[in-house]
Amino acid sequence: MLDINRLNVFIQVAATQSCSEAAKRLHLSQPTVSKHIQNLEAELNVKLFDREGAQLRITNAGMTLLPWARKIVRQSTQVQEMMQSMQDSISGQLRIACTTTAGKYLLPQLAARFRQKYPGVQIFIQPCIKETINSRLLSEDADLGVVSSEVRENDLECQYFFTDHISFIVPEKHPLSKRESIDPSELLDVPIVMREPSSGTRRTLESELAKHDISFDEMNVLMEVGNAEAIVLAVAGNLGVSFVSRMASAYARVWGCVVDVPVEGLNLERKICIARRKLSHPNLVRDAFWAFIHAPENEDVLALPEA
């Protein structure tokens, strides 16, 4: 019978291509990790890795084993959690895939509060892109998913999470920083730092600008950056102006590095949702968090995007 611990070690070695790096992740010694791989290879009578200098390269046999190993380890965890749930004990792992910038700010605070209530729970927040969220939920690689729009999948269900507020930010000493508001047409005259095309922030902005007959092609786009925090730093460094979630610019606004300037006629709000698989094995941890996010004691956290 295959040993779950050996399979988990194999998965980590495959991910890192290094026994030493896998050992760090697993809090084991390198000889112990190497021994697990050797024993697994002996048990299966195949070679799982070839050594290339300081790195390991997974073999064809290893590539064949990898998805099955992940499935076996995942199902082992699910069995343990299912047995725990039958004892009405909320404990186990909770994996939350997050595609939004604002979600990355709110989730750690909610997770910390949830852990205070249920200390037996381990929570893993996993950044990912929107295109992979459905498959991760359906394959149960993630228990919950935070997305910037409702998912269109029969086997998934969504609920409203919070409203993300997007604002136009400029450097502290920018000519526009003292204005009470600006007209959308004035955006054509300033160098702007833009999020990447797949960003929910960019899609929301594009939709609102289209109502004023303004396209990105007409704007002076200085650069595209796939990270809201990096954009805030670029604006604070006087490289240009931009649109970002108010969650991402909160500290820079407090420090006075950037300033919010309202743009007339733009409704820059987007509904953030949380999704889960409809039909799956019992998961008391997931369903407890699903209900917990809108508990009255969390109203202050869900109001943070408006600050």
**Whole-model pTM?**
0.70
Please tell me the predicted confidence (pLDDT) of residue 56.
Answer: 87
pLDDT in the model for residue 82 = 61
Structure tokens given for 11: 């998965």
DSSP assignments along 206-220, one per residue: HHHHHTTT--GGGS-
Q: Which of 92-106, 183-197, 200-214 has the weakest average pLDDT?
A: 92-106
| DSSP conformational letter for 298 | G
Quick one: 210 and 150 in the same domain? no
Same domain, 49 and 128: no
CATH number at residue 277: 3.40.190.10
Please report which confidence band the pLDDT of residue 221 belongs to, taking 50, 70 and 90 as the band edges. very high
The answer to whether residue 85 scores a pLDDT higher than 90 is no
How long, in residues, is the chain? Answer: 307
The tally of domains found in the chain comes to 3
pLDDT at 25 over 70: yes
First and final CA of the chain: distance in angstroms? Answer: 55
Position 79 in a domain: no
Are 146 and 89 part of one and the same domain?
yes
Please write the tens of the pLDDT for every residue from 241-264.
Answer: 999 999 999 999 999 999 999 999
For 130-167, write each residue's pLDDT tens digit. Answer: 888 999 898 888 999 999 887 888 889 999 999 999 99
**Average model confidence (pLDDT) for the chain?**
89
| Structure confidence at residue 149 (pLDDT) | 80
pLDDT in tens, 109-134: 999 999 999 998 999 999 888 888 99
What is the distance, to the nearest Å, from the Cα of residue 211 to the centroid of all Cα atoms in its chain? 30
What are 198-220's pLDDT values in tens digits? 888 999 999 999 999 999 999 99
Are 197 and 265 within one domain? yes
Range of the domain at 15: 4-72
Among residues 16, 49, 72, which one ends one of the domains? Answer: 72
Residue type, position 49, single letter: F
Where among 19, 40, 72 does a domain terminate? 72
Distance (Å, whole) CA 138 – CA 278: 9
* CB-facing half-sphere around the CA of 221: CA atoms within 13 A: 14
In this predicted structure, what is the pLDDT of residue 191? 96
Provide the β-strand partners of residue 170.
259
Would you state the pLDDT for residue 154? 84
For residues 170-174, average pLDDT = 95
